[in-house]
């Protein structure tokens, strides 16, 4: 019969792995900074399991993500900063505080009303944090700099929109997109192209594209993920068709591959 483990067992396993004597050399030498990329990777793998509808994989990936939280908490405990119990206490207090309609006597009847109440509570918390730091609160406080750039752009824009800094019409965003595209084209075709300026203008165009997605109520990450998948399918088709000719992409011309791309595209549309 398999050994049954509890949360306490997992915490003890983590402490043993980090033990200076008899622990795992790799685990012992890790820091918050070296573990952070793995934490992000595990979160993406949770997302991948959900998208695939693979519940067995989700169970496994959630365990890996939980282990990341335990790992960080163990390192913090070793430095006398906080413990895993402190993490549990903090998030429990936060969830109770942000759900007064469940744990208190507030009356919030709909999901939309809850979203509004949630954001209002978070705004209070951000204002309190700003005051403790001796500064005025900003509408952009709390938008993590570690988010993927496209997602962070949308979050920054949403925050600005809440205080009225936003275009009222989607056509205005489209006009701005055309303006930014023209500025990028001008930099690319300059007599002496400036790489820094090109990078800056490209960033401006990507930012306004994220804003357009927000106005169209389209998740830009989801849209780009779909296009990535479409590109992957069609490129695999190119490789398949070339393989039937005994060729590889490296042995083919761009014109030949572009023609096969159009065949793959037509086949996809016919199958829809």
Encode pLDDT of 200-249 as tens digits: 999 999 999 999 999 999 999 899 999 999 999 999 999 999 999 999 99
Q: Is the pLDDT of residue 112 over 80?
A: no
Q: What pTM value is reported for the model? A: 0.70
pLDDT exceeds 90 at position 107: no
Query: pLDDT of 147-197, one tens digit each?
Result: 889 999 999 999 999 999 999 999 999 999 999 999 999 999 998 989 999
Under CATH, what is the fold of the domain 7-97? Helix Hairpins (1.10.287)
Quote the CA–CA distance of 166 and 152 in Å, as a whole number.
16
Report the alpha-carbon distance of residue 218 to residue 246 in Å, rounded: 42
Say what the pLDDT of residue 174 is.
97
In SS3 terms, the chain reads as CCCCCCHHHHHHHHHHHCCCCCCCHHHHHCCHHHHHHHHHHHHHHHHHHHHHCCHHHHHHHHHHHHHHHHHHHHHHHHCCCCCHHHHHHHHHHHHHHCCHHHHCCCCCCCHHHHHHHHHHHHHHHHHHHHHHCCCCCCCCCCCCCCCCHHHHHHHHHHHHHHCCCCCCCHHHHHHHHHHHHHHHHHHHCCCCCCHHHHHHHHHHHHHHHHHHHHHCCCCHHHHHHHHHHHHHHHHHHHHHHHHHCCCCHHHCCHHHHHHHHHHHHHHHHHHC
Q: Which pLDDT belongs to residue 198?
A: 96
Q: Do 149-218 and 7-97 fall under one CATH topology?
A: yes
- 182 touches 208 (CB < 8 A): no
pLDDT tens profile 122-155: 888 888 888 889 898 898 998 888 888 999 999 9
Task: Report domain extents, the chain.
Answer: 7-97, 101-132, 149-218, 222-271
User: What's the pLDDT score for residue 102?
Assistant: 86
Q: Which residue has the higher pLDDT, 1 or 191?
A: 191
**If one looks up domain 149-218 in CATH, what number appears?**
1.10.287.1080
Taking only the tens place, the pLDDT of each residue in 34-75 is 999 999 999 999 999 999 999 999 999 999 999 999 999 999
């Amino acid at each position: 019969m398999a050994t049954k483990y509890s949360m306490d067992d997992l915490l003890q396993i983590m402490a043993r792995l980090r033990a200076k004597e008899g622990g795992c050399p790799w685990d012992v030498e890790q820091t918050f900074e070296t573990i952070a990329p793995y934490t992000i990777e595990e979160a993406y793998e949770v997302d991948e399991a959900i998208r695939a509808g693979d519940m067995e994989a989700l169970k496994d990936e959630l365990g890996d993500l939980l282990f990341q939280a335990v790992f960080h908490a163990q390192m913090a405990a070793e430095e006398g900063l906080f413990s895993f119990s402190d993490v549990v206490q903090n998030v429990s207090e936060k969830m109770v505080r942000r759900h007064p309609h469940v744990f208190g006597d507030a009356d919030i009847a709909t999901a939309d009303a809850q979203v509004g109440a949630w954001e209002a509570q978070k705004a209070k918390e951000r204002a309190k944090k700003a005051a403790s730091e001796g500064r005025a609160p900003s509408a952009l406080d709390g938008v993590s700099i570690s988010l993927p750039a496209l997602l962070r752009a949308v979050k920054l824009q949403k925050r600005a929109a809440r205080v009225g800094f936003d275009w009222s019409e989607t056509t205005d965003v489209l006009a701005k997109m055309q303006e930014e595209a023209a500025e990028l084209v001008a930099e690319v075709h300059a007599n002496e192209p400036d790489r820094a300026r090109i990078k800056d203008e490209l960033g401006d165009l990507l930012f306004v594209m994220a804003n357009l997605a927000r106005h169209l109520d389209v998740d830009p990450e989801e849209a780009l993920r779909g296009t990535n998948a479409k590109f992957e399918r069609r490129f695999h088709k190119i490789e398949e068709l070339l393989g039937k000719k005994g060729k590889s992409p490296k042995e083919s011309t761009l014109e030949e591959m572009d023609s096969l791309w159009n065949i793959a595209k037509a086949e996809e549309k016919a199958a829809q």
